[in-house]
Amino acid sequence: MKKEFSKEHRQYLAKKKRNLALIWVCRIGILLLLLGLWEMAASLGWADPFLTSSPSRIAVTIASLYADGSLFYHIGVTLLETIIGFVIAVAVGCAVALLLWWSETVKRVLEPYIVVLNALPKIALGPLIIIWFGTGSTAIVFMTVLVGVIVATLHMLTAFMATDENKILLLRSMGASKFQILRKLVIPSSLPAFISMLKVNVGMAWIGSIMGEYIVSRAGLGYLIVYGGQVFKLDLVMSATCILCVLAAGMYALVVLLEKLIVKDAES
Amino acid sequence: MKNEILRFDNVTLTYHTKRGETTAAEELTFSVKEGEFVAIIGPSGCGKTTLLSLAAGLLSPSKGTVTRHGSCGYMLQKDELFPWRTIEKNIYLPLEIKRQNTVERRARAVELAKKYGLSDFLESYPPQLSGGMRQRAALIRTLATEPDILLLDEPFSALDYQTRLNVCGDVASIIRGEQKTALLITHDISEAISLADRILVLTKRPARVAFEHELDFGGETRPIKRREMGNFGAWFEILWKELNV
């Protein structure tokens, strides 16, 4: 049954709706404006399209990549490396965080190692990774894991440690074991933090995989960018970058969708 | 004479931190009998919560013994309901922990919840309930495993005054109605007088039992009625002085 609202409330709802519409119009407007200016700058000779490329040249490049069948090949390679690296980083990060939460001693022993690993620029390990894992996708997946895993660990550990002390006391008064406290309280209360960690790690995974492809690769979007740069085909560089933007946004949107599915909020 | 459910014998508790050691309780001796409602009052920071942790078996005394016959249910200042569980699931929590999650136990718990006015809220999540309702749900959760003694750690102190009086009345009627033994710790003198059969007054840290009183309200157990009775004020005065010795 639909509820009858007062006139003021209907006006309020209509205003909210208008507001949302305005925001979307502005968002899309800015995108179109930027693309338009870019195209104009290139075609009217304000800037050299050899250096800046242009939306139409990007479209042509992508179309030709599609025509020779390499578009989805490169996307597929990078996407697969990113997703595998992302999943491994998240899984290992959560597992290590659990271990550190479980044992205060282990946590204190490992603390300095984690701090150093977190501060270390992972790209410094590039040559080592090539030598250890060769020049294939394994090396790139490893780089992706390396970039994401520490962030995942620290993020989840902070969430686990922030569990309400009084709720722990309550469970202990019921005679709960440490495992029960973990299962009934610590994990469910860390769910929002898990989602925010996934959001951060989507970004980390792309950094890892593209960085990996910069160091060593024969295929993938990172490869296209490096190759394009080396042979001065900036259309190719821009095209690959645009595709990356779309893919990263898509992966982020999937995490947001997951959030809506699993975080059932009481007020919804 | 009724059975003792809980007994403290010369209990001393010292706890250690990096800065040093603190004696929270010293030579503490008292007991709680079956069906009795005992309140413990003391100056703030005298180690009241420590005392409940000892009673619940979460801490072991440094000296002396704590004897408890039967199980206990612990109720905290805040309701500590889990926001991701419905009220019904929250009430089942201790059953899950104690591996007593049987159909009969669950049915008993739900029956209890319905009896005390939570039937419309079983499917709701805690944030949708008022503070008073939430604390009532917390009490039902505590009662779900049918504990032999209830340990109440200032269970009303987080509520506003009106809710507090109401919930206090509800809790009294539930505990009396279910004939439960209870040990209440509070800093609120009038709350102690309005609820308890017997009151123990603790000293400043290290806590010792300074005074002990049987209250004489002639079988009246409703907190709000007690507050209207003539001897309420007299008790308040006595306890107030003893607390400020």
The owner of tokens 């898509």 is A250
Q: Which residues pair with B178 in a beta bridge?
A: none
Tens-place pLDDT, residues A183-225: 999 999 999 999 999 999 999 999 999 999 998 888 999 999 9
Q: What is the ipTM of this complex?
A: 0.88
Region of B185 (left: φ > 0; alpha: ψ -120 to 50; beta: rest) is beta
Contacts of B124 in chain A (CB under 8 A): 266
Cross-chain CB nearest to B125 (options A184, A189, A266): A266
Q: What is the mean pLDDT of residues A82-98?
A: 96
Cβ-based neighbours of A263, under 8 Å, separated by 6 or more: A191, A192, A195
Please give the Cα distance from B91 to B141 (Å, whole number): 4
Q: What is the mean pLDDT of chain A?
A: 91
Q: What is the mean pLDDT of chain B?
A: 89
Contact B213, B53 (CB under 8 A): no
Q: What is the pLDDT of residue A266?
A: 41
DSSP single-letter state for residue B118: -
Tens-place pLDDT, residues A28-40: 999 999 999 999 9
Contact A245, A202 (CB under 8 A): no
Indicate the range of A153-162, A244-253, B222-231 predicted with least confidence.
B222-231
Q: Which residues pair with B184 in a beta bridge?
A: B39, B152
- The pair phi, psi for residue B148, each rounded to 5°, is -80, -25
Tens-place pLDDT, residues B159-214: 888 888 888 898 898 888 888 999 999 888 999 999 999 999 988 888 888 898 99
Q: Which residues pair with B62 in a beta bridge?
A: none
Cβ-based neighbours of A126, under 8 Å, separated by 6 or more: A143, A215, A216
Please give the Cα distance from A170 to B45 (Å, whole number): 21
| Percent of chain A predicted with pLDDT > 90 | 81
Closest alpha carbon to A86 in A200, A192, A188: A200
Inter-chain touch B127–A184, beta carbons under 8 Å? no
Contacts of A188 in chain B (CB under 8 A): 82, 84
Closest alpha carbon to B66 in B6, B3, B15, B14: B6
B157 CB within 8 Å of a chain A CB: no
A178 CB within 8 Å of a chain B CB: no
Long-range contacts of A160-164 (CB under 8 A, 24+ apart): A160/A97, A160/A98, A160/A101, A160/A186, A160/A190, A161/A101, A162/A193, A163/A189, A163/A190, A164/A189, A164/B80
Please give the Cα distance from B55 to B36 (Å, whole number): 15
Closest alpha carbon to B49 in A170, A8, A7, A211: A170
Cross-chain CB nearest to B76 (options A166, A188, A267): A166
Give me the residue spans of the domains in chain A: 1-43, 52-267
Contact A130, A139 (CB under 8 A): yes
> Could you tell me whether strands B209-214 and B63-68 are parallel, antiparallel, or unpaired per DSSP bridges?
unpaired
> Could you tell me whether strands B181-186 and B37-41 are parallel, antiparallel, or unpaired per DSSP bridges?
parallel
Inter-chain touch A167–B98, beta carbons under 8 Å? no
pLDDT band at A106 (very low <50, low <70, confident <90, very high): very high
Q: What is the pLDDT of residue B1?
A: 52
Residue A257 C-beta-side C-alpha neighbours within 13 Å = 6
Q: What is the pLDDT of residue A4?
A: 75
For an interface test with A, the pick among B71, B76, B97, B154 (most A C-beta atoms closer than 10 Å) comes out as B97
Contact B159, B132 (CB under 8 A): yes
The owner of tokens 């123990």 is B200
Contacts of A186 in chain B (CB under 8 A): none
- Residue by residue, DSSP assigns B158-191 as TS-HHHHHHHHHHHHHHHHHTT-EEEEEES-HHH
Tokens describing residue A130: 């090539």
Q: What is the pLDDT of residue B156?
A: 87
pLDDT band at A2 (very low <50, low <70, confident <90, very high): low
Chain A stretch 4-43, residues whose beta carbon is closer than 8 A to a beta carbon of chain B: none
Domains, chain B: 1-70+150-245 (3.40.50.300), 79-147 (no CATH)
pLDDT higher than threshold 70 for residue A226: yes
Looking at CA atoms only, how far is residue A195 from chain B in angstroms? 15
Please give the Cα distance from B65 to B54 (Å, whole number): 10
pLDDT band at A45 (very low <50, low <70, confident <90, very high): confident
For an interface test with B, the pick among A170, A181, A184 (most B C-beta atoms closer than 10 Å) comes out as A170
> Any idea which fold A52-267 has?
MetI-like fold (1.10.3720)
Cβ-based neighbours of B3, under 8 Å, separated by 6 or more: B33, B34, B69
pLDDT band at A267 (very low <50, low <70, confident <90, very high): very low
The owner of tokens 């009294």 is B172
Give the Cα-Cα-Cα angle B47, B50, B53 (nearest 5 degrees): 160
Inter-chain touch B84–A267, beta carbons under 8 Å? no
Tokens describing residue A96: 């290590």
Question: Is 0.80 topped by the overall pTM?
Answer: yes
Cβ-based neighbours of B204, under 8 Å, separated by 6 or more: B42, B43, B45, B46
Q: Which residues pair with B25 in a beta bridge?
A: B13, B207
pLDDT band at B6 (very low <50, low <70, confident <90, very high): very high
Chain B stretch 29-58, residues whose beta carbon is closer than 8 A to a beta carbon of chain A: 56, 58
Tens-place pLDDT, residues B47-101: 778 888 899 988 899 999 999 998 899 998 889 999 999 999 999 999 999 998 8
Contacts of A189 in chain B (CB under 8 A): 82, 84
pLDDT higher than threshold 50 for residue A268: no
CA A72 to chain centre: 20
Q: What is the pLDDT of residue B209?
A: 87
Peptide bond into A188 cis (omega under 30): no
